[in-house]
Amino acid sequence: MKKCTLHPLILLSFALLSSSMIDAAEPRKPNILFILVDDQSPFDFKFYNPQSTLDSPNIDRLATGGMIFDAAHHMGSFTGAVCTPSRHMIMSGRTVWHLPIGHGSKNCPPDLEKNTIGAVFNRAGYATMRTCKQGNSYADANKQFTVVHDATKRGGTAETGSAWHAERVLDYLGERKEKKDTRPFFIYFGLSHPHDIRDGTPELLAKYGATNHKDQSSPPAPNPKQPPLPPNWLPAHPFDNTSMNVRDEKSVSGVWQRRDEATIRNELGREYACSENIDIQIGRVLKQLEEMGELDNTYIFYTADHGIAIGRHGLQGKQNLYEHTWRVPMIVKGPGIKPGSRVPGNIYLGDLLATFCDLTGVAAPETNQGTSFKPVLLGEKQSTRDVLYGMYSGGDKPGMRSVKQGDWKLIEYESTTTKTRETQLFHLKENPHELIAEHKDPKATNLAKDPQHAAKLTEMRALLLAEMRRLNDPWRYSDQPDDGLTPPKSDQPRDKKKPNKNK
Ligand SMILES: [Ca+2]
């Protein structure tokens, strides 16, 4: 008589079914490692700029193992301390005119800090930890993390530089291992560099041919190891951009108001030395996560609070809306993200909170105004929005505004104080470095005065006005309808606590 047995494949199916039922009953929430650096242009990296000489093997590996965003932006700033609104937007998911600081504070609900990253993820049962610089940030939100180790570390040694922040993360992971803590984690791994003063380690400064130049009256020594001049370098910005007297354009040690080749290449060398050190520190943290078996269940985000000029367009600082400064690097690696993928994305830093929540199944707070880009990360779409708006009004008013749609970008400049009025129109595919007449490149320039592009200019100006209205921008340009708005009286944002300028 034939013995009744189950076919091995059926047995295997039962085993798989029961294992997936266990998984379904107790899904393990993913961890988040959020890496935020201070003042870094996307064009410092080879994956955004093949001419770059920056070595960043660990960040490059995140890029090849994850997704690169070509159009990630910060929304802007109403103060020279661009970090401050940027970090408020990151923490809260709110847009620039709806923050608890600045002219838009009347548009912000009270106690917003209770709906920022640390508070939201604590409520969701996450273990939360943060290390970052101090100052020009969002102090009430920073302290919502359960474990906080904040200090500004911009020196050239392990104790005074980026290694200090990495040590805090490594210690925290070590304690987690010791305590057998199995809760999912949210680690906010912030670094104080490559923000000036860019005192790199001696080895890395030597690698990039740079010195911590202290003599304002002479340029530093040229060195062939220094990074090349950027393609959009200029010896001076050709017109008053409404914020030429801000600290970053005049007082940064090592640059001051110098824009000569030797000064800019040396300062880029200092920036790269600091950025490579950050890369080394990230490598240490990733290695520990791998050894702990956490890497495969962790979403890793790498970005900066905004970009920086360092000689591009004759500027030094972060108070402008060219792509080198308005854009930020953005890399995301994690479960379900196709390795080596690349998208425009059209995202803001203010979309991060919504995305963190969406990826982890945590409800986003009602105060959030950002849009999750999880569908982009999962390969379902290329971008989350069609139009991007940027602003800067930390100098003369109304200051600068930009709008981008597809390959087209408009930047407007107006100062009611100096009567400056300038317009730039760029086709970014044909002119990715936003070259202008002073760059003397026959193939690329500002198209705003080209009659062939008059219709496009009109269209982009209409888009900008629509975005200014949609986002409650309190200012209007003199050739825009005033919409019945009274321009804000004070030149200074109405901050409860005034930001410590440009730290
Ligand atoms: Ca910054």
Q: Is the pLDDT of residue 24 over 60?
A: no
Q: Is the pLDDT of residue 501 over 50?
A: no
Question: 29 with 183: CB under 8 angstroms?
Answer: no
Identify the pLDDT of residue 486. Answer: 87
How far apart (Å, rounded) are the C-alpha atoms in residues 27 and 61? 28
Centre of ligand 1 to C-alpha 195, Å, is 7
Mean pLDDT of 166-175: 98
Centre of ligand 1 to C-alpha 14, Å, is 54
Mean pLDDT of 111-124: 98
Residues with Cβ within 8 Å of 419's Cβ and at least 6 positions away in sequence, in order, are none
- Domains of the chain, by residue range, sit at 28-386, 389-470
First to last CA, the chain: 86
Centre of ligand 1 to C-alpha 39, Å, is 4
How far apart (Å, rounded) are the C-alpha atoms in residues 352 and 359? 10
H or E stretch at 473:
none
* CATH superfamily, domain at 28-386: Alkaline Phosphatase, subunit A (3.40.720.10)
Q: In this predicted model, what pLDDT tens digit does every residue of 199-216 receive, in sequence order?
A: 999 999 999 999 999 999
The structure tokens 């040590």 sit at 167
Centre of ligand 1 to C-alpha 77, Å, is 11
Centre of ligand 1 to C-alpha 190, Å, is 11
Identify the pLDDT of residue 92. Answer: 98
Q: In this predicted model, what pLDDT tens digit does every residue of 38-78 receive, in sequence order?
A: 999 999 999 999 999 999 999 999 999 999 999 999 999 99
Centre of ligand 1 to C-alpha 278, Å, is 15
Q: Is the pLDDT of residue 503 over 70?
A: no
Q: Is the pLDDT of residue 478 over 50?
A: yes
Mean pLDDT of 27-48: 96
Question: 252 with 260: CB under 8 angstroms?
Answer: no
Identify the pLDDT of residue 413. Answer: 98
Closest CA to 391 of 494, 474, 460: 474
**Cβ-count burial 444-464 (b if 16+ within 10 Å, e if not):** bbbbbeeeebeebbeebbebb
Give yes or no for a cis peptide into 194 (omega within 30° of 0). Answer: yes
Coil, strand, or helix at residue 304?
Answer: strand
Identify the pLDDT of residue 26. Answer: 60
Centre of ligand 1 to C-alpha 336, Å, is 31
| More confidently predicted of 425 and 21 | 425
Q: In this predicted model, what pLDDT tens digit does every residue of 317-370 receive, in sequence order?
A: 999 999 999 999 999 999 999 999 999 999 999 999 999 999 999 999 999 999
Centre of ligand 1 to C-alpha 198, Å, is 13
Closest CA to 119 of 106, 96, 138, 104: 138
Closest CA to 333 of 378, 299, 372, 283: 299
Centre of ligand 1 to C-alpha 296, Å, is 30
Q: What percent of the chain has pLDDT over 70?
A: 92
Mean pLDDT of 14-25: 47
How far apart (Å, rounded) are the C-alpha atoms in residues 289 and 296? 9
Q: In this predicted model, what pLDDT tens digit does every residue of 365-416 receive, in sequence order?
A: 999 999 999 999 999 999 999 999 999 999 999 999 999 999 999 999 999 9
Mean pLDDT of 132-147: 97
Q: In this predicted model, what pLDDT tens digit does every residue of 280-311 receive, in sequence order?
A: 999 999 999 999 999 999 999 999 999 999 99
Identify the pLDDT of residue 28. Answer: 87
Identify the pLDDT of residue 456. Answer: 98
Strands 127-132 and 347-348 come out as unpaired
String of DSSP letters for 163-229: HHHHHHHHHHHHHHHHTT--S-EEEEEEEEEESSS----HHHHHHTT------TTSPPPP-TTSPPP
Question: 330 with 406: CB under 8 angstroms?
Answer: no
Mean pLDDT of 416-444: 97
Identify the pLDDT of residue 19. Answer: 45
CA 87 to chain centre: 9
Residues with Cβ within 8 Å of 375's Cβ and at least 6 positions away in sequence, in order, are 381, 384
Centre of ligand 1 to C-alpha 102, Å, is 17
Identify the pLDDT of residue 13. Answer: 54
String of DSSP letters for 97-159: GGSSSSGGGGGS-TTGGGGSHHHHHHHTT-EEEEEE--SSS-HHHHTTSSEEEE----SSSTT
Identify the pLDDT of residue 488. Answer: 81
Question: 98 with 108: CB under 8 angstroms?
Answer: yes
Centre of ligand 1 to C-alpha 312, Å, is 17
How far apart (Å, rounded) are the C-alpha atoms in residues 120 and 110? 16
How high does pLDDT run on average in the chain?
94
7 falls in which pLDDT band (50, 70, 90)?
Answer: low
Q: Is the pLDDT of residue 500 over 50?
A: no
Centre of ligand 1 to C-alpha 305, Å, is 5
